[in-house]
Structure 1
Amino acid sequence: MSDTAELLELSKEAQDLLFRDARTVGAFADEPVTEEQIRAIHDLVKYGPTSLNTQPLRVTLLRSPESRERLVRHMAESNQDKTRNAPLVAILAYDPDFHEKGEEVFPGRGEMIKGMFADPVGRESAARLNAALQVAYFLIGIRAAGLAAGPMTGFDAQAVDREFFADGTQKSLVAVNIGTPAEGQPPFGRLPRYDYTDVVTEL
């Protein structure tokens, strides 16, 4: 472990839980993921920053086999079995009309937010970017709950949107399998990561 870990406020155990020891897995133990766990995850990650606190992320939980199959038939073959067998699956999508939430979500700023995001092209871009930030927070929140996440983009997003969001109120970004890793998961070593000097430039 790098000595830089000692420079962080978060304990080494928490750092390991969220990052160093956490892994993406494809198979899960036969243990349920409860609504209470998802609520606890949401109550933590909802504080992650987004532009002007726009919060465009929307989460659809698929727990029943019937709802799961509605997603599976639009997925890449390599993702189908793992999604069928995961304890819980979430479709993470964004609300393209997040700016219409008004005073309920943006107290004192509802009309300002509507005006700032009146342009549909800019609004769509902002919704995708900020929801993507929230997706990352959600994945870290799953790890914080002691669970593993298997995020996937290998699906027909337009078909998934027609299947689940035919009214156009949401657009899918990522599907995530959630649960306790099965024994022996993940079955391979950690893939390499870029070093500091590969990614950081100081001017």
Structure 2
Amino acid sequence: MGRPIVAECLDQIFLKARTHTKWQDRPVADDLLRRIIDLTVLGPTSANQSPARFVFVKSPEAKLRLIPLLSEGNRAKTLAAPVCAIIGYDMKFYDHLPRLFPHENAKAWFEGKGASVLETTALRNGTLQGAYFIIAARALGLDTGPMSGFDQAGVDLEFFGGTPVKSNFLCNLGYGDPAALRPRLPRFVFDEISAIV
């Protein structure tokens, strides 16, 4: 700890990593999906809330359930991707706090609070975990294609029905086709979006 990671790691996770929309015909092993989650859950969340929930849509049957719920522009690339992860967040995350944050009665901080407080907290921390998920996937050698553009209510009903989990965003996973990449889009530089005060 305390030392910068090597340039090759920065390349793989950030500097040369790209969002992919075209995929090689290479499967993604279930063990690799498990390793992604094993890394994802180590990232920090407020009071270790860990509200993110993941469904890996991999089988042809599951893809047929998902595809009609996607915007037109996301259908072909999701069909071609070996896996599409649905990243959701548990609105009753606080039920797990006695185990995840045992040194305080953190459940009492949230139980009975209004939907707005719970939604904000679960979405914020679940989104953090979604970002850790992308970094973990890239670190383990996969390419990612995070996306919006789906019927959230439909996905919630189809894949999280009967639970307190809501979908946040989707992320295709696999081995991208580098030949299909466009030039990298512009990014802000420090002075455009940052200040040191």
TM-score by length of 2: 0.93
Match of 1:177 in 2: 172
SS state of the match for residue 191, structure 1? coil
SS state of the match for residue 33, structure 1? coil
> How far apart, in 1, do the equivalents of 2:97 and 2:131 lie?
25
User: Which of 187, 191, 194 is 1:197 aligned to?
Assistant: 191
Match of 1:116 in 2: 109
Does the 8 Å contact 1:29/1:183 carry over to 2?
A: no
SS state of the match for residue 164, structure 2? coil
SS state of the match for residue 195, structure 2? coil
User: Which of 119, 123, 130 is 1:128 aligned to?
Assistant: 123
SS state of the match for residue 26, structure 1? coil
SS state of the match for residue 73, structure 1? helix
Instruction: Work out whether 1:26 is the aligned partner of 2:12.
Output: no
Listed as ranges, the matches of 1:29-178 within 5 Å are: 29-109=24-104, 112-118=105-111, 119-120=113-114, 121-178=116-173
Q: Deviations over 1:143-163 (max 9, x none)?
A: 101111111110010111111
Aligned alpha-carbon RMSD (Å): 1.3
AA at the equivalent of 2:55 = T
Q: Deviations over 1:3-59 (max 9, x none)?
A: xxxxx7111111101001100011111111111111222222211111111000000
Query: Percent identity among equivalent residues?
Result: 37
> How far apart, in 1, do the equivalents of 2:86 and 2:144 lie?
12
Instruction: Single out whichever of 100-109 and 135-144 deviates more from structure 2.
Output: 100-109
> How far apart, in 2, do the equivalents of 1:70 and 1:137 lie?
26
